[in-house]
Amino acid sequence: MQITSFKQYEEDYKKSVENPEQFWGEVAQNFQWRKPWFKVLSWNFNEPNIKWFEGAKLNITENCLDRHLATNGDKPAIVWEPNNPEEESVTYTYKMLHERVCRFANVLKRNGAKKGDRICIYMPMVPELAIAVLACARIGAVHSVIFGGFSAKSIADRINDSQCKVVITADGSYRGNKQIPLKDVIDDALIGCPTVEKCIVLTHIRTPVSMLKGRDVWWEDEVKHVNDICEAEEMDAEDMLFILYTSGSTGKPKGVVHTCGGYMVYAGYTFSNVFNYQPGEVYFCTADIGWITGHSYIVYGPLSQGATSVLFEGIPTYPTPSRFWDIVEKHKVNTLYTAPTAIRSLMSYGEDPLNGKDLSSIRVLGSVGEPINEEAWHWFDEKIGHGKAPIVDTWWQTETGGIMISPIATVTPTKPSFATLPLPGIQPILVDENGNEIEGNGVMGNLCIKFPWPGMLRTTYGDHERCKQTYFSTYENLYFTGDGCLRDEDGYYRITGRVDDVLNVSGHRIGTAEVENAINMHAGVVESAVVGYPHDVKGQGIYAFVIYPEMHGEAELSKKDILQTVTRVIGAIAKPDKILFVSGLPKTRSGKIMRRILRKIAEGDTANLGDTSTLLDPGVVEEIIAAAKKL
Ligand code: WTA
């Protein structure tokens, strides 16, 4: 199933469009099924109703673990690199990982979890996180992993939305020289979560925690009470595998639902091809398992292909900005998959951190999460890849389950800042505002996908109508990505960024409405409007315009208070970079905030504000411009 030449890519692509069912049916043969499908695909984008590999039975963990045991049982599956480089790294072979997953699956059962139950996972980047994820999949429970940076309130909202029965967490986590008390955060969250019956707590940083009698149990105690034999639950291809919450243009995050069969095939196929993974190679994805990149390209994709996946607990700059390069050298990393924001941040330290580091093991480089600017692309290419490692700039989304538009390493000629060409099976089209296809090359438009692929979302948890409205209603019969896109003269695709009210801050998706809701919760704030602006390292920064007449004390103190409120309501990742206090916001006569104007002001481009004559009070714009200049 691995593509080895551009000619083969073209042939496979053609086949995947002309006969998608045959194409994906053949790809799926590379996986282990308990029962075959009777129909590869049935679909319509109106309801939407999408089914892949109908009738097939499987368990994804048999594909990620059991099937490797006979031939590759002693091969490293996960190599864990701790936050503190002085501590030992830990290697789990496929045999060991299988054993741990089965054991913990039995712990889940012992604590009342069964097929179909939702389980919330809020953990540091430790091997037990991957074990917890796979243990859920083993017993057919649906995992909902929540990134360790979210606040108690965000966790509670997510737990309640999907009525989780069990929570898996740790006492705390390390992030550089900081410690984060995860269990404390969970305790705050669970006050408002009536559906949670059990909380399993891993000891990690050894900070004191409170354990609630009857609800909270220790991971280490529990594993002593069970054995390591756990037959995998037989799942239907379309049974739910996981929920992952992501931000959209409305205030409330949506639970994107992925199912067992299609997701497995798509994550495995794309991993093997995009990175041109070769047996025995060491692959390092720097994402967190709390995001989709970690789900598909730290856990499921690599393990389904028997790969060695490095799992790193820490951050790129701790203890020094050489950390990534130390890890590459120490574990002889062959593929490094990271985010533009990390590249830009490391670039800013100059070349010193690279001095004396042996990066010769690197064969393939990858980028994900946001558009990569040319400067960062070239630095990555020259300084890290020494001009010899192809860069795969992979465009995709939580909703797509896996990589959609990307070069195939060693196959597709790359071009800086271009995600290049669609993978086999992916049929992108560009449309104008009215949904008319923009044909030909050298054009720009809104990016849509016109045919299903196995890894696509099936619904948004508990609210199918929302899935339909968000993705399938903007343009008839198309999946709308929310991204703007350019197709150049060569037919290469470059993603230009979101065209909706979603920000991409350091590769994290944040809805402007979510941040506004959080700011508005602060006592005394009347109203706020949040927009993005270009930020050298983060890609986009968050700029908040806030009406706060009863400000207490100094403006700086008030800003601190607001930042704290946002941290409490969402998490530190959503803290505005800039807050500007204003007396009014530019609104149309019908009361709509004209964000276009605020965006221009935030970008510092006030010469081209465009038409402001429809504003209720054009004077407010002058006032905001004057205040912004002083910020
Ligand atoms: C953006 C992350 C440009 C895009 C996998 C998308 C990108 C959103 C790229 C999804 C890329 C992701 N080039 N933009 N290579 N990859 N994006 O759901 O705006 O966290 O819609 O999934 O990130 O973010 P999400």
Question: pLDDT tens for residues 206-264?
Answer: 999 999 999 999 999 999 999 999 999 999 999 999 999 999 888 889 999 999 999 99
- Quick one: pLDDT at residue 550? 78
Q: Which of 42-56, 105-119, 397-411, 605-619 has the lowest mean pLDDT?
A: 605-619
Which residue puts its alpha carbon closest to atom 25 of ligand 1?
Answer: 397
Residues 6+ apart with CB under 8 A from 136: 105, 108, 113, 119, 121, 142, 143, 242
The type of residue at 455 is: G
Ligand 1 atom nearest residue 497's Cα: 19
Q: For residue 421, how far is its CA from the centre of ligand 1 (angstroms)? A: 15
CA distance 50 to 73: 36
Task: Count other C-beta atoms under 10 Å from residue 114's C-beta.
Answer: 12
Which residue puts its alpha carbon closest to atom 23 of ligand 1?
Answer: 369
SS3 at position 28: helix
Is any atom of ligand 1 closer than 6 Å to the C-beta of 417?
no
Is any atom of ligand 1 closer than 6 Å to the C-beta of 368?
yes
Strands 90-93 and 428-431: unpaired
Counting Cα atoms < 13 Å in the Cβ hemisphere of 261 gives 28
Residues 6+ apart with CB under 8 A from 182: 122, 123, 124, 148, 169, 170, 171, 172, 173
Q: For residue 498, how far is its CA from the centre of ligand 1 (angstroms)? A: 9
CA distance 487 to 447: 10
The type of residue at 134 is: L
Is any atom of ligand 1 closer than 6 Å to the C-beta of 509?
yes
Which residue puts its alpha carbon closest to atom 11 of ligand 1?
Answer: 395
Q: For residue 368, how far is its CA from the centre of ligand 1 (angstroms)? A: 7
Is any atom of ligand 1 closer than 6 Å to the C-beta of 273?
no
Segment holding 163, helix H or strand E:
none
Q: For residue 394, how far is its CA from the centre of ligand 1 (angstroms)? A: 8
Q: For residue 547, how far is its CA from the centre of ligand 1 (angstroms)? A: 32
In a mutational test of the pocket of ligand 1, which residue from 397, 460, 480, 499 has the highest number of ligand atoms less than 8 Å from its CB?
Answer: 397
pLDDT > 90: percent of the chain: 94
Is any atom of ligand 1 closer than 6 Å to the C-beta of 369?
yes
- Burial pattern 336-365, b for ≥16 Cβ within 10 A else e, equals bbbbbbbbbbbbeeeeebbeeeebeebbbb
Per-residue confidence band for 609, with pLDDT thresholds at 50, 70 and 90: confident
pTM of the model: 0.97
Q: For residue 340, how far is its CA from the centre of ligand 1 (angstroms)? A: 11
CA distance 572 to 132: 25
Ligand 1 atom nearest residue 246's Cα: 18
Of 521, 517, 524, 586, the closest CA to residue 549 belongs to: 524
In a mutational test of the pocket of ligand 1, which residue from 370, 460, 480, 486 has the highest number of ligand atoms less than 8 Å from its CB?
Answer: 370
CA distance 307 to 298: 10
Q: Is the pLDDT of residue 568 over 80?
A: yes
- Quick one: pLDDT at residue 557? 87
> 575-584: per-residue pLDDT in tens?
999 999 999 9
CA distance 19 to 48: 21
Which residue puts its alpha carbon closest to atom 3 of ligand 1?
Answer: 371
Is any atom of ligand 1 closer than 6 Å to the C-beta of 397?
yes
Q: For residue 155, how far is its CA from the centre of ligand 1 (angstroms)? A: 23
Ligand 1 atom nearest residue 394's Cα: 15
- The predicted model gives 115-121 an average pLDDT of 98
Q: Which structural domains are found in the chain, ordered by start?
A: 16-485 (3.40.50.12780), 506-629 (3.30.300.30)
Q: Which of 127-141, 189-203, 243-257, 394-408 has the lowest mean pLDDT?
A: 243-257
Q: For residue 65, how far is its CA from the centre of ligand 1 (angstroms)? A: 29
Q: Which of 44-48, 78-82, 413-417, 556-560 has the lowest mean pLDDT?
A: 556-560
Is any atom of ligand 1 closer than 6 Å to the C-beta of 396?
yes
Phi, psi of 387 (to 5 degrees): 70, 5
The type of residue at 502 is: V
CA distance 18 to 28: 17
CA distance 508 to 74: 36
- Quick one: pLDDT at residue 608? 83
- Quick one: pLDDT at residue 251? 80
Q: For residue 439, how far is its CA from the centre of ligand 1 (angstroms)? A: 24
Is any atom of ligand 1 closer than 6 Å to the C-beta of 482?
yes
Give the DSSP letter string of 365-431.
EEEESSPPPHHHHHHIIIIITTTTSPEEEEB--GGGSS--B-PPTTTSPP-TT--BSBPTT--EEEE
SS3 at position 44: strand
Per-residue confidence band for 171, with pLDDT thresholds at 50, 70 and 90: very high
CA distance 567 to 180: 14
Q: What was the ipTM of the complex prediction? A: 0.99
In a mutational test of the pocket of ligand 1, which residue from 495, 500, 502 has the highest number of ligand atoms less than 8 Å from its CB?
Answer: 495
